[in-house]
Structure 1
Amino acid sequence: MKNIHRIKVAFGDTDAAGIVFYPNFYRWMDQAAHELVGAAFMPVSRLQKERNIILPLLETFCQFKTPLFFEDQVEVHSQVIEMKDKVFKVEHVFKRGGKVVAEGYEVRAWTSIESGRPKAVSIPEEVQEAFGVVKTI
């Protein structure tokens, strides 16, 4: 499953040079991942409240190809591209006017907080099916 998260760059997203300050790409990837999970399976807030599951980041990366500016309209195309027993990888492609401006990914753990201490647990089959990705070893 692929999800598209739309963003309009705000003035506060830019630095003194007038371009988007790089940490915002990571913030937008986080938002896009939450939107993806919500669209494919259930909202992250419900996942935590009803199933005691959180999705902490283990790794993240972003490669910037061209700058973004105030009031640019950006689409973040996100999809799960890899799923292992307890972790999954989300790919994010940032596009402005159909042109790729940045690409990145996040690796997240399917983590239970039921015991009070976070512990990675196996990703349920229903989640695999929702994302359309089969687990690898």
Structure 2
Amino acid sequence: MAFETSRLLGFGDCDPAGIAFFPGYMRLLVSVTEEMFAASGTPWPAMIRERRIGVPTVKLDVDFVAPAFHGDELDFRVSIARLGGSSADLRHRVAVGERTVWTARQVLVATSLESHRAIRWPDDVRAGLAAHLETNDARDPAA
């Protein structure tokens, strides 16, 4: 099941004309992804400070479909297309009402903050992420 949340498009996320500016979108994408992990039972502060696990973005592909404006409520829908041994392929859809304003494909990788190398998802993190898989066959067979 997809993770869903909303964010108000603030002044700091827009250009002088009040139109959303892409760096603001990226800040929102990170905050929504962090919220999804927390809702899945693995908040980033604990992962980073206590478990020494990072989740850097290693690939990001964004399609801007329509403008959004200062004060718009952005509805985020995040699902996981594939959950690998150490990676997760996320799909983001951001809409204002029924109108899609942007979509993104994001690949995250679990990494050791000591070695900066990929590590396998811990079982509890994997279980939390698996709740957001698009389909039951979206798991990596080698995972």
Structure 1: which 5+ runs fail to align?
Answer: none
Q: 2:22: which partner in 1? A: 22
Preserved CA contact (<8 Å) 2:18 2:69: yes
TM-score under structure 1 length normalisation = 0.88
SS of the counterpart of 2:15?
coil
Superposed, 1:96-111 pairs within 5 Å as 96-111=96-111
Q: 1:72: which partner in 2? A: 72
Aligned residue pair count: 135
Q: 1:33: which partner in 2? A: 33
SS of the counterpart of 2:45?
helix
Preserved CA contact (<8 Å) 2:42 2:125: no
Q: 1:127: which partner in 2? A: 125
Q: Return closer, same or farther for 1:12/1:130 CA change in 2, 3 Å cut-off.
A: closer
SS of the counterpart of 1:130?
helix
Runs of 4+ in 1 over 4 A off after TM superposition: none
Aligned-partner residue type, residue 12 of structure 2: G
**Aligned residues with identical type, % of pairs:** 23
- Residue deviations 1:77-130, cap 9 Å, x none? 1122211121111111101113211110211110112xx331211123333322
Q: State the superposition RMSD in angstroms.
A: 1.6
Structure 2: which 5+ runs fail to align?
Answer: none
Q: Is structure 2 residue 59 aligned with structure 1 residue 59?
A: yes
